[in-house]
Structure 1
């Protein structure tokens, strides 16, 4: 049985390991950081990844004793952020905040010129959250059961959107088809905004999307939130049940925001980065802000545990796409 996480013990162990490892590393690694650190964000300014990265940078900076600059590199589903990280020196002075899906989902959706499992090393899970299943007002559904009945009453006429084919927004719709005996047709989009626009307009009838994306439309009454994929109810949608509550545990899905380095950054530097990030994440104001964004705090999983989770998520994603014959165009 796994022992409860003890933060003080974690810090002491990390500090001890760092001291031992640093004895065999150059002075540059031992003195890390002795200049500003940069965090590349694989998303646009104002997005969830950007907001969480800036909060983390603010709290980590005094811990490390150096300024931490945030540099947005949005595009290609987060891949531009990875490319920026990979072309930077592997000394720990360039880190990256990105969604977990850039490792577990994106490579199943588009061709990538590298194996993310070989070029990335997750250090910390900063925050996590589920997706929300929403429908438009035209369906008249007030809950998941009502939506399922609506789809079955309109056989071969209902479609669901995803923010990109091959992502979890796509495969969650496929899973809902499977577990509820539905026949919804998938329609893939290039991003959430056009998909949500068509959903509101009635071109498609449902979509799994992030809480921040759908919240304004739910509050305005243009969309109805039916269920969330997180293990617990979301703070932004306290009255919306989880799929587990409704009897569909296979539709539990988490998307994480993670702090990454490359695996070849010196081990003592990785240890310092992780220790500083874990300490920063204990800040009550940071936790409150995450909660207001509809995000739960990340777990205290180790880098190896995080990598194992990403592999499991990638395998699940690949298996579902293979079952429907999906191929990268």
Structure 2
């Protein structure tokens, strides 16, 4: 069976909507030619309008044209991504249901919560679609105007400064653990159920600081409702060019990036996995997609294969596990 190709009209429509130029047809093994045979679902481990949802909708537009079948987005927030994983794994493992979620679904969530899935046996990363880091933000009324002033301020109040995170046991907490050790301070952690309530308390002055994702903090930083002190990323974030990295202010160990990716059950046929990967990576490399990602404060995903992504996730898992063990963390 010949693979259905996007028509010229469809290519023009997609280019006009997203600024994307569809790639040339990619080869696929004969037994993968029949896929997809029905609607493809991208399950999102987050709410409508969130980072993953926005990325999923961009990808769904391109994949609909490239695959010749409708691709829809379905939000399944909650449980630090575990609910979305459950939706993925309970669907037929034929490639018609995929998951878009952060890499922390295997390197953080299974350590923070008691989950019903094995992160490295049940899930397989297919394509990285965006990269980002966490940012240390504070209430703009704090006397510290930059990172060096903030560090001096924290040291002047030993044991009196708290920091928030979007969930206990996740990277937002363990970055604070790292910072305490490397800077020789002793901030206390306050965990929340998601970024919005934590950010409200930071802006309200109830908790002075927070390690948060750029997707939720960036609009508030730009509006002057939060002050950004440093980003945990290998380089400066284009959307915050004046905010240094932790490496620049003397903490090179705090530069681990996070990423968003497409995931499948590990037993989906290899040829279908490859077809999804090829189509996704072709869209991710287009200028229109890249511009959307940059506007959200992120970098474009890297064209890594499943083996490299799994290796990166495993290393992140081990680092996170060591940090949580060191503070005696017990998952909920």
Report deviation, 1:315.
0.6
Given the alignment of the two structures, is residue 208 of structure 1 paired with residue 185 of structure 2, yes or no?
no
* CA contact 1:135–1:141 (8 Å) conserved in 2: no
The residue aligned with 2:292 is: 289
CA RMSD of aligned residues (A): 1.6
| Runs of 4+ with >3 A deviation | none
Given the alignment of the two structures, is residue 74 of structure 1 paired with residue 83 of structure 2, yes or no?
no
Given the alignment of the two structures, is residue 253 of structure 1 paired with residue 256 of structure 2, yes or no?
yes
The residue aligned with 1:49 is: 52
Alignment counterpart, residue 87 of structure 1, candidates 84, 90, 97: 90
Alignment counterpart, residue 303 of structure 2, candidates 285, 300, 304: 300
* CA contact 1:139–1:150 (8 Å) conserved in 2: no
Q: Distance in 2 between matches of 1:164 and 1:115?
A: 20
Report deviation, 1:312.
0.6
* CA contact 1:159–1:204 (8 Å) conserved in 2: yes
Q: Distance in 2 between matches of 1:40 and 1:222?
A: 32
Given the alignment of the two structures, is residue 230 of structure 1 paired with residue 233 of structure 2, yes or no?
yes
TM-score by length of structure 1 reads 0.90
TM-score by length of structure 2 reads 0.90
The residue aligned with 2:152 is: 149
* CA contact 1:131–1:253 (8 Å) conserved in 2: no
Q: Distance in 2 between matches of 1:275 and 1:78?
A: 25
The C-alpha deviation readout for 1:6-26, integer Å capped at 9, x for no partner, is: xxxxx99x84xx53xx5xx5x
* CA contact 2:133–2:214 (8 Å) conserved in 1: yes
Superposed counterparts of 1:1-329, under 5 Å: 15=27, 18-19=28-29, 22=30, 29-329=32-332
Count of aligned residue pairs for this structure pair: 309
Q: Distance in 1 between matches of 2:188 and 2:74?
A: 38
Higher helix share: 1
* CA contact 2:44–2:52 (8 Å) conserved in 1: yes
Report deviation, 1:109.
0.9
The C-alpha deviation readout for 1:192-244, integer Å capped at 9, x for no partner, is: 11111111222222111011211232233232100111112112211111111
Report deviation, 1:297.
0.5
Report deviation, 1:266.
0.7
Gaps of 5+ in 1: 1-10
Gaps of 5+ in 2: 1-23
